[in-house]
Amino acid sequence: MIDRREFLTHSLLATSALSVSPAALFSAQPTGSQPPTRFIFVHKGNGLLPESLVPPSFDKQQLEGENRKDACDVDLDGHDLPNWMNPIAAHRDNLTLLQGLSGKMCTTGHHTWCSSLGAFKANERLNSIKWATVDFELAKLFPSPFEHIELACFPDGGGNARGNINGIEKGFSASGPMQPNYAFGSPKVALQELFKSVSTNETARKRYELQRRTLQFLAATESDLASDLGGIERTKVANYADAIQGVRGRNLRIDGMSNILQKYVPKLDTKYLAEDLSTVDRQFGLTEILLSTLISGMTNVVTFTIDELGTRYTGLPDLEGENINLHDVGHNKSIGGYEALEIRNKVRNQHMTLVDLIVTRLKNVPEGDGTMFDNTMLFYFSDNGETHHSKGTEWPFIVLAGDNTKLNLGRRYIRLPGYNKEGHKTLGNWYTTILNAYGHSIDHYGALDVALTRDQQGPIKQFLS
């Protein structure tokens, strides 16, 4: 028999992803003349090698500047993209390759947990979570019924491993201090939990109704329990009570948009609903879930852990018969006749295939005078910086942004000044820039790098002009 704490954590809080704030009902479609901006954070494990983003058509002078980590801003028109980016070549006009950011204020090395999205040092302990990660901050600016949804290809060994890659487990985001988010680990579970209010399965409907009644009871009892406790235990239980209230509010909002949800329930191939599915199939299935939650209006912010260092890769094109250990790849081990760098290319190419699927689909959904992608920003980056054993001196980003997004980006290769050079910028500066662009006038987001002697406060002004 499970105790109350386990029941709350895995059944109720996980479903809500600890993310919903009590607010008035929201419709799936924007009510004003300006559609909301959507944000998609796609992050990977095992580092993102800075040299892998450099256009192969750069001339000698450009490559020399690259090696010195000099600042540059180059129009991608007329330049070749690295071959692993071929799937997104059609989106070149929306593409920015951003180099030069650092993240030494994060926990680096193999894993960063919430660090890469929060710009603070973190581990898997609750008290290491200092504040809401940037994806949650953006979700507050563009409210939706679920506020924020997280999906993950969980590892089965090493780093954030829970021993349950198909379940609902702690993810890489946080809704506030000491409040880890929860992520859906399989397309099947995500489909069942996110769309259960409009399920045609009678058992699922009964479970949904039972949960609603259980929540009503627990909302009162958990608040009473919190008042009898002190210290960290009181904080934990108070967080649970708040999350229960959040689920209740979310359910009301979801009920109000049931007609729309029925239209956008993802129609997944049976292979994506299997318990034992390949990593690649899991990624494709979760991508379909991601798209359905955005297009239906269920959320405006999705975070997708596309893989992690402990994720075992199966089903990778040209290596379908291999069970690839990314940790081994990080240590330059050859697998299936391919060198480690070639495997890295294949993994990233698979990621770009998914990114292309997302962008292409959103470009085909009408919205206002254009499409949904016009109001979307997608960020692809590593959860631990530049390489397998990262130092945090570089944190490459690939950004795909629609025409209505507010940052000065698009069709560019941008390298900001290297670490500790004049004008150097950090993850904190980058997230501060994004937040300021969308109305959160914050002086600085994230912790400071105590080893950095340059001014590191505020947004990156060139992206706001």
Give the pLDDT of residue 219. 55
DSSP bridge pairs for 414:
73, 98
Q: What is the DSSP letter of 288?
A: H
| Rounded-to-integer distance, Cα 368 and Cα 404, Å | 11
The percent helix, strand, coil of the chain (3-state, each to 5) is 40, 15, 45
Q: Please, where are the H alpha helices in 17-171?
A: 60-67, 115-118, 134-141
Give the pLDDT of residue 247. 57
Give the pLDDT of residue 130. 96
| Rounded-to-integer distance, Cα 284 and Cα 177, Å | 32
Q: pTM for the whole thing?
A: 0.86
List the structure tokens of 130: 């200092």
Give the pLDDT of residue 103. 97
Neighbours of 235 (CB within 10 A): 17
8 Å CB contact between 185 and 167: yes
Place of tokens 């926990």: 107
Q: Give phi and psi for 451, each to the nearest 5.
A: -90, -10
- The C-alpha angle 26, 129, 4, rounded to 5 degrees, equals 70
Give the pLDDT of residue 206. 57
Give the pLDDT of residue 259. 81
C-alpha distance across the termini of the chain, in Å: 58
List the structure tokens of 39: 């944000």
**Continuous segment of H or E residues that includes residue 98:** strand 95-99
Please name which of 205, 178, 197 lies closest in space to residue 18, comparing C-alpha atoms: 178
Please name which of 460, 428, 459 lies closest in space to residue 118, comparing C-alpha atoms: 428
Give the pLDDT of residue 230. 59
Give the pLDDT of residue 135. 98
**Domain region containing 400:** 4-463
List the structure tokens of 171: 């993810």
Give the pLDDT of residue 204. 60
8 Å CB contact between 55 and 81: yes
Residue 2 burial (C-beta neighbours within 10 Å; 0-12, 13-18, 19+) = exposed
Please give the tally of structural domains in the chain. Answer: 1
Reading the chain (465 residues) residue by residue, the pLDDT tens digits are 334 344 334 444 444 433 333 222 333 344 456 899 999 999 999 999 999 999 999 999 999 999 999 999 999 999 999 999 999 999 999 999 999 999 999 999 998 889 999 999 998 888 999 999 999 999 999 999 989 999 999 988 655 556 689 988 889 999 999 999 999 999 999 998 888 877 666 666 556 555 555 545 555 554 555 555 556 666 665 666 666 665 556 666 667 677 888 889 999 999 999 989 999 999 999 999 999 999 999 999 999 999 999 889 999 999 999 999 999 999 999 999 999 999 999 999 999 999 999 999 999 999 999 999 999 999 999 999 999 999 999 999 999 999 999 999 999 999 999 999 999 999 999 999 999 999 999 999 999 999 998 889 999 999 997
Give the pLDDT of residue 167. 86
In sequence order, which residues have a C-beta less than 8 Å from that of residue 305 and are 6 or more positions away?
43, 44, 150, 151, 152, 153, 154, 171, 172, 183, 383
Give the pLDDT of residue 461. 95
